[in-house]
Structure 1
Amino acid sequence: MCRWMAYSGEPIALDRYVTRSSHSLVVQSQKALESTMAMNGDGFGLGWYDDLPDPGVYREIRPAWSDENLRSLSRHLRSRLFFAHVRAATGTPVTRPNCHPFAYGRWLFMHNGYLANWIALRRTVEGMIPDEMYGARAGSTDSEALFLALMGQGLAEDAEPNPVAAVGRFLARVAELAGSDPFLFTAALSDGVHLYAFRYGVNARPNSLYYRAAQNGVLIASEPLDDDRSTWIEVPPQSALCAPSGGPVSVLPLAA
């Protein structure tokens, strides 16, 4: 399974947590401690917000530990809200369009999860993507398809004012499709202002997720990014973490 981290708070250089911390995301790409896969070398990606409403995205198929561009970019890029992801492929090709994060308009999304029997369910899930959004489908992963289908629940047009409620309804729908097979969804989502994270699973234990306070904001990660685990709080299964801009972090039950 993949590893990822998300940050919202005072503007900082991305390398603080992507490459420099003792258990940074690059370290986790070679030695994850709480994943079914210790190695996450099937590409990586960065997503960040600056003065523009839509996020910048950089994705690459090389392992994070061997790409010199990642170290240079993360040292020079500063952002108030950014995502970083290292991928462990689960059946789909190692291509740039299959690397996370994914962007649509002002929205940014990344995922660590698994939808069993994806080959059989792919057409049904892709059918949940509105026609006007389907042109944004560039890869073949379940993650990207789930993201675009979720955007079709009213988030992209601001028709749905509550992203947590929309995600809950959407997960319930996908869980029904999965039936008795595992469906795991540990993901981060942002509109460039607010940051949301979700830990959910049916028929299997959800993948790990933690958070802690950081620089007048919040740091969220698949597993702690340093050795001081006492400062990290585990997000309970079937929960949503909400980090509104300038507001307190809350963890809510995810009704799905």
Structure 2
Amino acid sequence: MCRWLAYSGEPLRTSAVLLDAKHSLVAQSLDSPLGAETVNGDGFGIGWYPPGAVAGSIPAVFHSTEPAWNDENVRELARAVESPLFFSHVRAAAGPPIQRTNCHPFRWENWLFMHNGFLSEFAKVKRELTFAIDPSLYPHVTGTTDSEVLFHLALTNGLVDDPVAALRATVDLVERVGRDHGIMFPMQGTVAVADGATIWALRYSTQGRSRTLFHSADIPTLREMYPDAERLSEFGEHAHVVVSEPLNDLPGVFIEVPESTIAILDRDGYHHEPFRSAA
């Protein structure tokens, strides 16, 4: 459906992974070998926290409906922005129209959210799921995607206080409502959420056949593995990325996140937490 990338670590010029990597996110927008669709040309988005941001800092966002590979603004922005934590997303629309309000990442206060996947037969469950959003949050839903509804349901279910529990409660709701409407596999996808300090990345589908998700190995480990790789000098000791598919083909650089798992990335690195057993 889409491709996305999340970075956390020392402040990094976003072009290092959005443009300059062998299989960068912009390259994936035109050629995505592991994606459900090879081309992801229905919009681009980036959300970033400024260097020196403190807890609760509001991220900036930029959205474009142009294909990422053909948008000069994307290249100008990526070479200018430096950030310690940023999200970026290239979209392959699967029904909802191509418009800026449907581009990821979505933002609410200091939170960013993006999604690769879908809620099956969303038209059947849209009304019930949308009405389950807290009334105080409902005015902030400005687009028409299932992903934005998913984000606001997670906020409704306590994302700010406990992201893992909120994501579980949200998926429970999606699956219950879906099955009430005769949908066999209601939930599909990978989700990334950040509060400015931590990234939570979920890989889950009701069917147990989720979209791909990987994260990078630690930079000190990679420098030991590839001592002659000059490109690694661009990254600090705490630099990590979580990606829909690897940014290069070097063995050991990217580690697949298991099915039905939340990968949590903070200053200390990654740890994985089981989400639930695949249905």
> What band does the TM-score fall into relative to the shorter chain?
over 0.9
TM-aligned CA deviation for residue 35 of structure 1: 1.0
Q: Does 1:226 align with 2:248?
A: yes
TM-aligned CA deviation for residue 248 of structure 1: 2.7
Structure 2: runs of 5 or more not aligned:
220-235
Q: Which moved more, 1:174-183 or 1:69-78?
A: 174-183
Q: 1:40 & 1:26 partners in 2: Cα distance?
A: 9
Q: 1:102 & 1:14 partners in 2: Cα distance?
A: 18
SS of equivalent residue, structure 2 residue 252: helix
Conserved 8 A contact 2:34-2:212: yes
Structure 1: runs of 5 or more not aligned:
none
Q: Does 1:251 align with 2:251?
A: no
Q: 1:209 & 1:229 partners in 2: Cα distance?
A: 16
TM-score, normalisation: structure 2: 0.87
Conserved 8 A contact 1:182-1:204: no
Q: Does 1:167 align with 2:188?
A: no
Aligned position for 1:57: 61
Aligned position for 2:188: 184
Aligned position for 1:139: 143
Q: Does 1:22 align with 2:22?
A: yes
SS of equivalent residue, structure 1 residue 227: coil
Aligned position for 1:152: 156
Aligned position for 1:40: 40
User: Which structure: larger Rg?
Assistant: 2
SS of equivalent residue, structure 1 residue 249: strand
Q: How many residues align?
A: 251
Conserved 8 A contact 2:215-2:242: yes
Q: Which amino acid aligns with 1:170?
A: T
TM-score, normalisation: structure 1: 0.94
Quote the sequence identity (%).
39
Q: 1:123 & 1:42 partners in 2: Cα distance?
A: 25
Post-superposition Cα deviations, 1:63-95, rounded to whole Å, max 9, x if no partner, equal 000000101100110000000100000110000
Post-superposition Cα deviations, 1:211-235, rounded to whole Å, max 9, x if no partner, equal 0135313210000011214211000
Conserved 8 A contact 1:12-1:79: yes
Q: 2:167 & 2:159 partners in 1: Cα distance?
A: 10
